[in-house]
């Protein structure tokens, strides 16, 4: 999948499926599931590594981007460039690591600087302002050279207005909805892979946390009972 393919999907009214993935196995699974876009989010720091918000470094993002790149062959790959590191040189490092798009939450001026350097930009912005202001923000990002937009917390009023106002695809991350050109969700959230799902299952398509918990308890029982393990033949 390439940007031209996403543009074609927008024109034809076909929804774009995007997932956020942080490791090689999940990238492979998403690829086989047929998603169009795999996004390496800087949310990996908080959600997978237990960091505080804003702690993640560029070097860590490069490691994750390279790992996910190894698992993606067909889908378009986007990698986040954390706000503290937004520059042309750093964006090029992500491209060198395999990113087809560099995702930033930045001003139109910063987006223009990246785009003029030949970097394909996935620009993120948030709802909360008036509909006319959000439409103008989206247009400004498109005019600056953004190739794709992530409109978070779009809402059913501003969302359709923004998607119709620009020619580039508009996806929805947090708080997105069916009124946009597509959706972007953390794979771990979609499959219910978080310790919190053990106690209060979230709205997801599976509960991998509960399945993993049950499997590990069964494994522990076999070890403590001196039984052969499933999937392993006796020596």
pLDDT, one tens digit per residue, over 90-145 is: 999 999 999 999 999 999 999 999 999 999 999 999 988 999 999 999 999 999 99
Domain range for 144: 3-187
Residues 140 and 178 in one domain: yes
Burial of 165 (0-12, 13-18, 19+ CB in 10 A): middle
Count of domains forming the chain? 2
Residues 122 and 160 in one domain: yes
Q: Which helix (H) or strand (E) holds 95?
A: helix 88-96
Residues 42 and 146 in one domain: yes
Residues 178 and 209 in one domain: no
> b vs e for 37-73, b when ≥16 Cβ sit within 10 Å of the residue's Cβ?
bbbbbbbbbebbeebeeeebeeebbbebbbbbbebbe
Residues 160 and 203 in one domain: no
Residues 202 and 136 in one domain: no
Query: Phi/psi class of residue 40: alpha, beta or left (left: φ > 0; alpha: ψ in -120 to 50)?
Result: beta
Residues 212 and 98 in one domain: no
pTM of the full structure: 0.92
pLDDT tens, N- to C-terminus, the chain (235 residues): 899 999 999 999 999 999 999 999 999 999 999 999 999 999 999 999 999 988 999 999 999 999 999 999 999 999 999 999 999 999 999 999 999 999 999 999 999 999 999 999 999 999 889 999 999 999 999 999 999 999 999 999 999 999 999 999 999 988 788 999 999 999 999 999 999 999 987 889 999 999 999 999 999 999 999 888 887 766 5
Q: Domain containing 173 — which CATH number?
A: 3.20.20.60
């Amino acid at each position: 999948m390439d940007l031209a393919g996403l543009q074609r999907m927008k024109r034809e009214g076909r929804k774009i499926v995007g997932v956020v993935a942080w490791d090689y196995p999940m990238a492979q699974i998403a690829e086989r599931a047929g998603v169009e876009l795999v996004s390496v989010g800087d949310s990996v720091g908080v959600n997978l590594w237990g960091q505080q918000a804003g702690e993640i470094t560029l070097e860590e993002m490069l490691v994750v981007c390279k790992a996910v790149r190894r698992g993606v062959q067909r889908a378009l790959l986007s990698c986040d460039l954390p706000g503290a590191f937004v520059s042309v040189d750093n964006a090029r490092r992500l491209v060198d690591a395999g990113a087809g798009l560099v995702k930033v939450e930045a001003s139109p001026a910063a987006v223009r600087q990246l785009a003029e350097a030949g970097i394909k930009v996935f620009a993120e912005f948030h709802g909360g302002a008036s509909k006319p202001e959000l439409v103008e923000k989206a247009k400004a990002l498109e005019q600056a050279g953004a190739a794709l937009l992530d409109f978070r917390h779009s809402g059913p009023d501003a969302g359709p207005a923004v998607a119709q106002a620009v020619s580039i695809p508009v996806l929805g991350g947090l708080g997105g909805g069916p009124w946009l050109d597509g959706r972007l969700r953390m794979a771990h959230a979609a499959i219910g892979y978080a310790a919190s799902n053990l106690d209060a299952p979230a709205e997801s398509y599976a509960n991998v946390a509960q399945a993993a918990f049950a499997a590990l308890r069964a494994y522990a029982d076999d070890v403590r009972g001196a039984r052969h393990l499933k999937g392993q033949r006796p020596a």
